[in-house]
Amino acid sequence: MAELSITFLGTGTSQGIPFVACDCAVCRSDDPHDRRLRSSILVESEKIVFLVDTTPDFRAQALRHNLRRLDAVVYTHSHMDHIAGFDDLRRFCELSARPMPIHASPDTMADLRKIFYYAFNGQQASPTYVQAEPHEINGPFRLGDVEVIPAEVPHGRMTVYGYIFSREGRKLTAYFSDCHHVPSEIVAQIRDIPVLIIDTLRHKPHPSHLSLGEALAIAADVRAGRTLLTHIGHELGHETTNAILPPEVRLAYDGLRIEI
């Protein structure tokens, strides 16, 4: 059995793909790989099932993948394309009859408490409403049999969390959905990791995200066994972009499931 399974619930940028009112080739594409919900992954091991971020598309993602169990949620940061589906955790609180463990940096947790105050103050109108069990991240922690190592990366003017997931001391994958670059000390920390999942918005440089060329440079430096690109904009068509990538690098797509 695989040590870790990852399902890409969404691989799109903050507006999703297709963009509203856009007639570009990718937004009008018939290729299902070019239809991208907002970026999120589901992580599964023998003992735990957890989500990284609750996008505005979370309900649709949960239905698409017949998600029936969710043990915890880990947040990268508090931009709306990563938290707006928070309230749809309600059904999983109802199914488990307990609050949902929420793991986030102190800054992100503070934002979640402000925006979704009713989940944290114990004053829900009904016990079936979403209820949060907050856990501020201040270093590595465990979820079941998975060790979660936060890694701070720059995202525009913000510092957000990427994550390294390991089991029994073996680093298996690193996830950086939103970043402008990856600091050298983190590159060293994840060098030769089996799977790197990293932000790739478009061809041109961007102040908050990695371009394709920048992501490829990081992948080459990390020497990951396999690199999957996510948080993809509408300039990068699935088929045409994969055709120019090295064989060990590919665009991820919604519904892709990998086992490590």
CA 191 to CA 226: how far, in whole Å?
Answer: 12
Q: What pLDDT, on a 0 to 100 scale, did the predictor assign at position 164?
A: 98
CA 215 to CA 205: how far, in whole Å?
Answer: 11
CA 16 to CA 26: how far, in whole Å?
Answer: 12
Task: Using alpha carbons only, give the angle 110, 114, 118 rounded to the nearest 5 degrees.
Answer: 120
Do 171 and 4 form a contact (C-beta atoms < 8 A)? Answer: no
What's the structural domain count of the chain?
1
Q: What pLDDT, on a 0 to 100 scale, did the predictor assign at position 1?
A: 60
Q: What share of the chain is helix, strand, coil (3-state, %, to 5)?
A: 25, 30, 45
Q: What pLDDT, on a 0 to 100 scale, did the predictor assign at position 254?
A: 98
Q: What one-character DSSP code corresponds to residue 37?
A: P
Mean pLDDT by groups of 10 residues along the chain of 260 residues: 93 98 98 98 97 98 98 98 97 94 98 95 74 97 98 97 97 98 97 98 97 98 98 98 98 98
CA 40 to CA 43: how far, in whole Å?
Answer: 10
- CATH of residue 149's domain is 3.60.15.10
Enclosing domain of residue 26: 5-259
CA 150 to CA 76: how far, in whole Å?
Answer: 9
| Residues in contact with 255: Cβ distance below 8 Å, sequence separation at least 6, in sequence order | 7, 8, 64, 65
